[in-house]
């Protein structure tokens, strides 16, 4: 039940209309609740605020907030379009989730609704002396919040959709997802090890990307049926209806159709990948920006070099990982989860850049420096992968760069060259 509530809350909270709707509900409640103080002794302590002064403030808010809200929506749509065209369409979900823009739009619409409701109530004698005073203070406070929100939003909208800001936003989301993966690479379950005797295949029921896996639900299924479950997918995996989603075995008789349905229900499938659950998707989105920048029509190697720096920072998150997998707390002890290899992370982060930038010496030099830097991380898999990709990137450049001195300069910077000297 808890997981279902979280699922729907996450699904709706990412919608552009969700937060403005909450602000509208709060605004209506705030405008009407001011009437409650009329039945208290507060009316003997507060000054008598004339209706005309409150009505003037409310008219100012109602006359301006709707215009500003429309302007805000137009500016946001322009920023969304800009981000999709100059960066990557995959960045749209991150840009539209910008909290400052959502809060600004919510505040503008909420203030407009508050002013309309409060004006109607005021004109119909709904408030007494104390109620008018509380309404006056609420209106002044709302007016202040709207002005501060507008100033903050103007600063954000001037950057929203810009390439630099979009790269930073994607890197931030990717870092969060990677940190979660590094902390729990097997989703707090067991890593896949050895054979899985008598494993019965659980086929997927739909086609799409694995977006989220409800590990708690799978553990309950396993406990209730004395199962061992070996998952053959992780968030980000594209599956089809004949894809082996998982394997199960048990010492008792199983209703395989019922188990199949329950396991499929515990795995959320969608048409797109999610940045929050998929540690590779952020790397892919960043690389797409670099590939676009390296296209002949754009020819912007500086952006590709910036992306290499972002990928390097993200992969250095492993440098802070001290805990061994064997020391991690296993919460879902009846489930085994497939892992992601370091080669797959390097594929996502660097292979397209090495391919599209093979003929650009500045990009390839920066790429080799990144591999040399990553090789210093005290993890054998990263060291081996960095060395392999250093060779691969240089081999691509040998086919694309025709000027011999550039190739000699590049080779001196290669990680595998320094290893050969040693």
pLDDT (0 to 100) of residue 422 = 44
Taking alpha carbons only, the member of 375, 377, 373, 376 closest to residue 319 is: 377
Q: What is the 3-state secondary structure (H, E, C) of the chain?
A: CHHHHHHHHHHHHCCCCHHHHHHHHHHHHHHHHHHHHHHCHHHHCCCCCCHHHHHHHHHHHHHHHHHHHHHHHHHHHHHHHHHHHHCCHHHHHHHHCCHHHHHHHHHHHHHHHHHHHHHHHHHCCCCCHHHHHHHHHHHHHHHHHHHHHHHHHHHHHCCCCCHHHHHHHHHHHHHHHHHHHHHCCCCCEEECCCCCCCCEEEECCCCEEEEEECHHHHHHHHHHHCEEEEECCCCCCEECCCCEEEEEEECCCCCHHHHHHHHHHHEEEECCCCCCCCCCHHHHHHHHHHHHHCCCCCCCHHHHHHHHHHHHHHHHHHHHCCCCHHHCCCCEEEEEECCCCHHHHHHHHHHHHHHHCCCCHHHHHHHHHHHHHHCCCCCHHHHHHHHHHHHHHHHHHHHHCCCHHHHHHHHHHCHHHHHHHC
Does residue 123 have a pLDDT over 60? yes
Residue 248 pLDDT class (50, 70, 90 cuts) = very high
pLDDT of residue 354: 96
Residue 281 phi, psi dihedral angles, 5° rounding:
-65, -35
Query: Is pLDDT larger for residue 122 or for residue 178?
Result: 178
Tell me the per-residue pLDDT of 381-400, one tens digit each, with 9 for 90 and over.
999 999 999 999 999 999 99
Cα 164 to Cα 350: distance, rounded to the nearest angstrom: 19
CB atoms within 10 A of CB 153: 23
What pLDDT score does 16 carry?
A: 61
Note the residue count of the chain: 422
User: 42 pLDDT exceeds 70?
Assistant: no
In the predicted structure, residue 263 carries a pLDDT above the cut 80: yes
Of 43-57, 74-88, 161-175, give the range with the top mean pLDDT: 161-175
pLDDT by residue (tens digit) across 156-192?
777 776 888 889 989 999 999 999 999 999 999 999 8
**What is the structure's pLDDT at 421?**
56
Q: How far apart are CA 30 and CA 138, in angstroms?
A: 8
| Average pLDDT over every residue of 190-204 | 88
pLDDT above 90: percentage of residues in the chain? 48
Q: What does the mean pLDDT of the chain come to?
A: 85
pLDDT band at residue 68 under the 50/70/90 scheme:
confident
Q: Is the pLDDT of residue 105 over 60?
A: yes
pLDDT value at 59 more than 80: yes
pLDDT of amino acid 417: 79
Q: pLDDT tens for residues 311-346?
A: 999 999 998 765 555 556 889 999 999 999 999 999
Torsion over CA: 63, 64, 66, 67 (sign): positive
Q: What is the pLDDT of residue 33?
A: 75
Cβ atoms within 10 Å, residue 312: 18
Average pLDDT, stretch 9-16? Answer: 60
Strands 244-250 and 200-203: antiparallel
What does the pLDDT average to over 283-292?
Answer: 94
Query: What average pLDDT does the segment 93-99 reach?
Result: 72
pLDDT of residue 136: 85
Residue 227 tokens read as: 């199962």
Q: Which residue has the higher pLDDT, 16 or 282?
A: 282
Residue 5 predicted with pLDDT over 70: no
Average pLDDT over residues 195-210: 90
pLDDT band for 306, please (50, 70, 90 cuts): very high
């Amino acid at each position: 039940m808890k997981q279902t509530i979280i699922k729907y809350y996450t699904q709706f909270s990412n919608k552009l209309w969700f937060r403005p709707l909450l602000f509208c509900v709060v605004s209506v409640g705030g405008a009407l609740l001011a009437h409650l103080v009329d039945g208290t002794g507060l009316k003997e302590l507060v000054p008598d605020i004339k209706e005309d002064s409150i009505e003037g403030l409310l008219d100012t808010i109602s006359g301006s907030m709707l215009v500003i809200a429309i302007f805000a929506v137009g500016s946001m749509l322009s920023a969304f379009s800009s981000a999709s065209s100059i960066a990557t369409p995959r960045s749209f979900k991150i840009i539209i989730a910008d909290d400052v823009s959502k809060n600004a739009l919510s505040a503008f619409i909420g203030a407009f609704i508050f002013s309309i409701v409060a004006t109607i109530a005021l004109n119909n004698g709904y408030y007494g002396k104390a109620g008018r005073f509380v309404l006056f203070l609420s209106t002044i406070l709302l007016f202040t919040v709207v002005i501060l929100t507008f100033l903050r939003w103007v600063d954000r909208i001037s950057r929203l959709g810009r390439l630099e800001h979009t790269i930073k936003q994607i890197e931030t989301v990717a870092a969060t997802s990677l940190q979660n993966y590094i902390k729990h690479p097997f989703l707090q379950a067991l890593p896949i090890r050895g054979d899985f005797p008598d494993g019965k295949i659980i086929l997927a029921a739909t086609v799409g990307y694995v977006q989220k896996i409800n590990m708690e639900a799978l553990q309950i299924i396993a406990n209730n049926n004395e199962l061992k479950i070996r998952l053959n997918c992780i968030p980000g995996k594209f599956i089809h209806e004949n894809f082996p989603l998982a394997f199960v075995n048990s010492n008792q008789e199983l209703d395989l159709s019922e188990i199949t349905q329950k396991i499929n229900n515990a795995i959320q499938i969608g048409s797109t990948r999610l940045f929050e659950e998929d540690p590779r998707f952020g790397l892919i989105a960043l690389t797409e920006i670099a590939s676009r920048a390296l296209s002949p029509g754009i020819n912007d190697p500086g952006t590709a070099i910036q992306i290499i720096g972002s990928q390097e920072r993200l992969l250095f998150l492993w440098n802070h990982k001290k805990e061994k997998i064997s020391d991690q707390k296993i919460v879902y002890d009846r489930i085994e989860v497939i892992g992601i290899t370091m080669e797959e992370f390097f594929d996502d982060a660097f292979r397209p850049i090495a391919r599209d930038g093979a003929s650009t010496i500045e990009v390839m030099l920066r790429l080799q420096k990144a591999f040399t830097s990553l090789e210093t991380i005290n993890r054998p898999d990263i060291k081996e992968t960095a060395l392999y990709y250093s060779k691969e990137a240089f081999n691509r450049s040998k086919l694309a760069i025709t000027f011999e001195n550039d190739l000699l300069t590049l080779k001196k910077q290669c990680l595998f060259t320094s290893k050969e000297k040693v």
